[in-house]
Chains A and B, each alone.
Chain A
Amino acid sequence: MFKQKNYLALGAVVFVAIVLLSLPTRATARLKLAVGSWFLPLFGLAGAAQQLPADLADSVLPRRELLKQVDNLRRENQQLRSQSVQSTAIARENDQLRALFNWQRQSPWKLKLANVVMRDPANWWRTVQIDLGSRDGLRENLPVITDAGLVGRVSSVSLTRSQIVLLGDPNCHVSALVENAARDMGVLIAGGTLDTSLVELTYLASSANLKPGQSVITSGLGGVFPKGIPIGQIVDSRSVEYGLYTDARVKLNANLGSLEQVWVLFP
């Protein structure tokens, strides 16, 4: 027979679970932060272990190879400088034209580089954690990008770490625009459970003229993501709800499966 102390222990565990689940969001976030700090030494060890092979490879790289890399970097630097001069001139021209029409000036993006330190261990979420937090100026709902395109947004912030909810997670909806003649607009929602590179673009107009390969960018609506960040390309489309609207599958530009470094965008 199950003894009384067994029931008491089971009751205590259930009580702890119910108390934790009924805590207010702010208290839960603080508790998660406190418990998460227990893992900091392991994060440090993991980071050092990841850095070690790179350091070893650097130390054994021959001088000729290093000189070649320096030469390539110099050439790339010169190209980028000339592009920068050109884009500065274009930006100046843009500002002058905006002033002519009394339009608001566009402020340049401020970016902060962050390392992805952890992925969500649960299969039913698509989130990662980065090594920047509130002490680095991060706050909720800042867009996160890579050089390929949009990745997601900051969903919660602690002092030293932040959680990023990635595209394809049910909690990350993005207003998106298809770069075609009609500039069709829709909402990017969760995609497939296995393939992280595909997401659904829904609520497109039933008359939308979508073709595979058309680019999808952020529309700027909703107030979270600035307009014009590349998202991906249309794969295919289908009419849903008896022709009420159109759904499309979008292949993301950014590879969410192997994120290592991301940029947090301060609009």
Chain B
Amino acid sequence: MNFFQAILILAFAFLAAFGEATLAAPRALLGAQVDLLPALMVYAALNSGLPTIALLAVLGGVWFDTLSANPLGVSILPLAVIGWPIYWRRDLILHDLPFAQFVLGAAASAIAPALTMLLLLSGGKDLLVGWGTLWQWSVMTAVGAVATPFIFSLMAACNRTLGYQPQPEIGFRPDREIKRSRRKL
């Protein structure tokens, strides 16, 4: 487990949850608040270990629900449902391609709110749902899709700048040096 990467992902999730609760601009401009946690889960599932995915699902979900009127814990399962299948099949996914990141981000950002609403409705909650919800869902999907490649680039830049970098191997190896000396006859 890469601790630095795990901390970076969780810190980003914390800031994302806070930003979603305090920034009013997306709601004013697009008519919907965007959610970056599913896009972050796509990154975590493709680049981190299982403990990071589990921590992101639990802590990200709890942070989001704390700042929302959601029942505590309802956002954990949708994030886990996004993370696990991607982690399971991550060897088959071309995760360096921005198009693949875009498609996965779109799918994750569409699935997360739909599953959360499904859980809330099945729990008997009365939600603000109407035809406008389709527009909000489309906005969340589109913004999540566009944000995913950016999150990949941002995380890569943070890892390059702040993370541990392995020393590049040099061609010269002291143990393979040919010692030349005049042989005594």
Chain A residues in contact with chain B, CB under 8 A?
A: 2, 5-6, 9-10, 12-14, 16-21, 23, 28, 31-32, 35-36, 38-39, 42-43, 46, 117-127, 129, 155, 163, 165, 168-171, 190, 192-195, 257-258
Contact = CB atoms under 8 A, between A and B. Distances in A.
B72 A28 contact: yes
23 contacts: A5-B50, A6-B50, A9-B51, A10-B84, A16-B76, A21-B73, A118-B67, A120-B68, A121-B21, A122-B33, A122-B116, A125-B68, A129-B67, A165-B69, A170-B127, A171-B126, A193-B129, A193-B131, A193-B132, A193-B135, A194-B135, A257-B28, A258-B28
A119 B21 CA distance: 5
B73 A123 contact: no
A29 to B, nearest CB: 9
Nearest to A171: B126
Contacts of A9: 50-51, 53-54
Interface stretch (B58-66, B142-150, B173-181): B58-66
Contact of B126 (A121, A170, A193): A170
Q: How large is the interface on B (under 10, 10 to 19, 20 to 34, 35 or more residues)?
A: 35 or more
A21 B76 CA distance: 10
Ordered nearest first, which 6 A-B pairs have the shortest CB separation? A20-B73, A193-B132, A121-B20, A194-B132, A170-B126, A17-B76
Interface in B41-89: 50-51, 53-54, 57-58, 61-74, 76-77, 80, 84, 87-88
A120 B132 contact: no
Contacts of B132: 192-195
Contact of A121 (B57, B68, B80): B68
B107 interface: no
A126 B65 CA distance: 14
A16 B72 contact: no
A31 B128 contact: no
Contacts of B120: 124
Interface of B: 14-15, 17-18, 20-22, 24, 27-28, 31-33, 35, 50-51, 53-54, 57-58, 61-74, 76-77, 80, 84, 87-88, 113, 116-117, 120, 123, 126-133, 135-136, 140
A39 B61 contact: no
A125 B62 contact: no
Contacts of A123: 32-33, 113, 128, 133, 136, 140
A42 B135 CA distance: 31
Contact of A20 (B72, B84, B123): B72
A85 B83 CA distance: 66
A133 B100 CA distance: 46
Tell which of B22, B61, B77 has the most Cβ of chain A within 10 Å.
B22
Contact of B18 (A19, A39, A163): A39
A2 B117 CA distance: 29
Nearest to B66: A35
B136 A194 contact: yes
A6 B77 contact: no
A14 B80 contact: yes
Given A6-B88, A9-B50, A168-B128, A36 B67 contact: yes
B143 to A, nearest CB: 12
B69 A32 contact: no
A122 B68 contact: yes
B18 A42 contact: yes
